Structure 1
């Protein structure tokens, strides 16, 4: 291999990479907030006893879990404007596509957490006369969130990584900026290596935190 790495050409491009990084973080944070909130609501709908409520929710979950995220992003960017004849800001569209995808996966994580809530706790809610919304907010949600936290955080890392897919529809995120720099300078190895290291630096602390939470939960169960 006679290729010689030269990262010096990136010295004047850190501003552009930083701008792309800001867009990536914005996409990841907003889609995660959306996924965490809507995921729990979707979980409750999917577990409803009412068939006309449960089936659409389950169909939503299966659609987003069983189709490629790239296809979903492309569909949102090109099909929705045609269908509703309304132009939506690219970043907003990216958040919507990524957030709904994450909502479906988080709903399944929440469902496992809800099913892990001891039946005795629910019986106690009935004995205390708590209303359904009080039982959900004060008893079910905290326990489900604690049980599902490692999976939710793992899904969040996946959402950060999937945000790179919006580059294909020309959203100026970190991946799109890196692709542009690599094309202009004919230095794909150096450019994509730096971009990969940035994604790695963003994901690694969260992954370590997930492992710490899992160890803590394992120790709590053993006690």
Structure 2
């Protein structure tokens, strides 16, 4: 291998990379907020005893879980403006596509947490005269969130990585900026290596935190 690595050209590209990183973080954080909140609501709808409520929610989950995230992003960017005759800011569209995808996966994580809530706790809610919404907010949600937390965090890492897919529709995130720099400087190895290291540096602390949360949960269960 006679290739010589040269990272010097990146010295003047720190600004664009930081700008792309900011967009990536905006996409990931906003999508995770949507996924965490609406994932639980979708979970409740999917577990409803009313078929007219349950079936559309289950269809939503299966659609987003069984189709490629890249296809979903492309569909949102090109089909929604054509169907609805509206223009939405590219970053907002990216957040919407990633957030809905994450919502479907988080709904499944929440479902496992909700099913793990002991029946005795629900019976106690009835005995105390709590209304359904009080039972959901004060008893079911905290326990389901605690049980689902490792999976939610793992899904969050996946969304951070999947945010790179918006580069295909010209959203100026970290991946798009990296691709542009690689094309301009004819240095793809150096550029994509730096971009990969940035994604790795963002994901690794969260992955380590997931392991800590899992160990603590295992310790609580084993008591």
Give the alignment's TM-score, normalised by structure 1. Answer: 1.00
* Structure 2 unaligned regions, length at least 5: none
**1:96 counterpart residue number:** 96
Runs of at least 5 residues in structure 1 that lack an aligned partner in the other structure: none
How far 1:51 sits from its partner (Å)? Answer: 0.3
- 1:2: which partner in 2? 2
1:84 aligns with 2:84: yes
Q: Encode CA deviations 1:46-100: one digit per residue, 9 max, x unaligned.
A: 0000000000000000000000000000000000000000000000000000000
Deviation by residue 1:122-164 (Cα, 9 ceiling, x = unmatched)? 0000000000000000000000000000000000000000000
> What is residue 162 of structure 1 aligned with on the other side?
162
Aligned-residue Cα RMSD (Å) equals 0.2
Distance 1:133 1:102 in 2: 24
**Runs in 1 of length 4+ with deviation above 2 angstroms?**
none
Q: Which residue in the other structure is 1:27 paired with?
A: 27
Aligned to 1:153: 153
Alignment size in residue pairs:
223
- The question of 1:53 aligning with 2:53 is answered yes
Question: 1:183: how far off?
Answer: 0.3
Q: Deviations over 1:157-176 (max 9, x none)?
A: 00000000000000000000
Distance in 1 (alpha carbons) for counterparts of 2:52 and 2:219: 41
- Matched residues in 1 for 2:202 and 2:60: separation? 30
Q: For each residue in 1:169-221, what CA deviation from the matched residue of structure 2 results, as whole angstroms up to 9, or x when unmatched?
A: 00000000000000000000000000000000000000000000000011111
| Alpha-carbon distance in structure 2 between the residues aligned to 1:85 and 1:213 | 45
- CA distance in 1 between counterparts of 2:37 and 2:221 reads 27
Q: TM-score with structure 2 length normalisation? A: 1.00
* 1:203 is the counterpart of 2:203: yes
Where does residue 64 of structure 1 map in the other structure?
Answer: 64
